[in-house]
Amino acid sequence: MTICQQVLSSWREAERLLDTLPPLSSDEEAVRLVILTMREMYQRLTRDPRRPRDADSDRATLERAQAIIAEVRARTAAAPDAAAGAFTLETG
């Protein structure tokens, strides 16, 4: 799977997860940020695929987004009413 396909898949997964989260929760905010980041990355990647890009940075951002999705999904499955932690997509 290409990075573009992975970004699109993560974006879609985050959209589905968002529908299950309580409004104004930390998890909802984290997932909204993932959605925005994945949408922007997807648009940038598909706008001009020949344009040079920072593959390491893209990969790190994608991996962090996937980790946030997994953590939120696991937390909400284990304890739907648990307080959410804080997340950031910033990398090194």
Question: Which has more confidence, 54 or 67?
Answer: 67
* Inside any domain, residue 23: yes
Residue 61 clears pLDDT 70, i.e. is over it: yes
Structurally, the chain folds into a number of domains equal to 1
pLDDT in tens, 19-57: 999 999 999 999 999 999 999 999 999 987 677 778 889
Please report, in angstroms and rounded to a whole number, the separation of the first and last CA atoms in the chain. Answer: 25
Neighbours of 34 (CB within 10 A): 27
- Position 81 scores a pLDDT of 57
* Inside any domain, residue 65: yes
* Inside any domain, residue 85: no
* Inside any domain, residue 87: no
* Inside any domain, residue 91: no
Domain that holds residue 27: 3-78
